[in-house]
Structure 1
Amino acid sequence: MHLNYAHATRFNPPCPPSQYAGIGLGPRMKSAERFAGHRQDLARKVHEAGIKNPQVLQAIATVPRHSFVDAGLHARAYEDSALPIGHQQTISKPSVVARMIELLHKNKQPLGKVLEIGTGCGYQAAVLSLLAQEVYSIERVRALHDLARTKLRPFRIANLRLIYGDGIRGLPQAAPFDGIILAAAGLGVPDPLLDQLAIGGRLIAPVSKSETEQQLLLIERVSSHRYQRTALDEVFFVPLQS
């Protein structure tokens, strides 16, 4: 079964992890095995960057990052660096992807229902699919949405839905979410996303402090009307757009 996806106008909940083959069992994985050592090296680099959660490290070691970038960038795919994916967007540094997911994870295995804002090429969604029961990922750039569908299809991930639409509005038909992760930086976190966060859930987002400074912000929903905010690492992301 190929990757299932949904447009905003057609909603179907994804299958839980127990019902999918998982990253690593897709039909293209034999050719990807020559990069297995590189994936392990990348996981070590991410660990050295401060990531401690073993499930997150295993997910980084499992997902073939080279499958999500152009062939001309395969030699750099396992560097801990951001790389261009077109349309003025990038695939984030693996250590930053791991850091954000580790913050979202909150020592739960697996995560419950997660919403990603900004699918990009699909790499982070693939990592999330190994750690969450359900993953919904929204992309506003049609060409990137189509790219992610193409990149992810060989892995046959049944607990992932890709949505083409405006991520700032969230996905109310699938809410509430146990985790929400933003892959672009805004001046703040859009209210619809806060409304769609489950009580006890976590949202992690880069937020612009100024034209040149951004910081990770962790938001935990304590009750219906109370949120706890924690400012964390300095980061750099592309701008959040509607």
Structure 2
Amino acid sequence: MVELIYGFIFILIAIILSIKEEIRLEKEILYSAILALIQLIILGYVLIYIFEYGGIVITYIMVLLMILTATYIVNSKMNAKIKENKRYNKRYMFLYISLTLLTVTFFTLMVLRFSHVVPYEPRYIIPLIGMIVGNSMNAIHLVLDKIVDHIRSNRSILWGYLALGASEFQALRPFMRVAITSSVTPMMNMMKSVGIIFIPGAMTGMILAGADPLYAAKIQVIIMWMVLGTALLSGLILCYLSYRELIRL
């Protein structure tokens, strides 16, 4: 409890600066901080139960909940962004996003299961899949956000491709490339600076827990490769699945 009090000093500083500089983010900062605290404490209790008593089936159920939650978050943001477009099918997009996350998650689980990179146990599977789902969710959101903006600002180019006889997928493909590149560029930049500018979270946590630094570095590299690969894969899968909906934007 004392650690949380000291940690909250950083939130107080952010709130004070927001008020002083009239940034007007103090309520959002406080809300986000409290929400993170509640969610992580609940997660801690859930994981204690799963690690002690739960089996692989409960692990899969928790992974499915992660996927559904991530799908709902991304789909809600997309609905808010293009709510005026009646041709856009919200249910189809929810399905496409969930299928994309299911595919990359299943692929990751198979790699972890047969590669023996880490023990195939809830203690290892849940945090790793959480990273994959979370980063894939961010990548999908960036892809959709970028492709919507790019189509809206370059609609004449899109119509030009179609007028010249290109199929819907061929016309949308240049927009897909721009969106996917934008979504994975931050991850690639992070990988270029890792170890020189900062030590990433997983490696930091393992070192603080007493793990061998070289082993922690190996696991961190594998995680970053997985995150980058699944982020790009999720962007591609979503575009391939949803191009008929995206072309209507």
TM-score normalised per structure 1? 0.28
Bigger helix fraction: 2
Q: Which has the higher contact order (CA 8 A, sep 6+)?
A: 2
Flag the structure with larger Rg.
2
Bigger strand fraction: 1
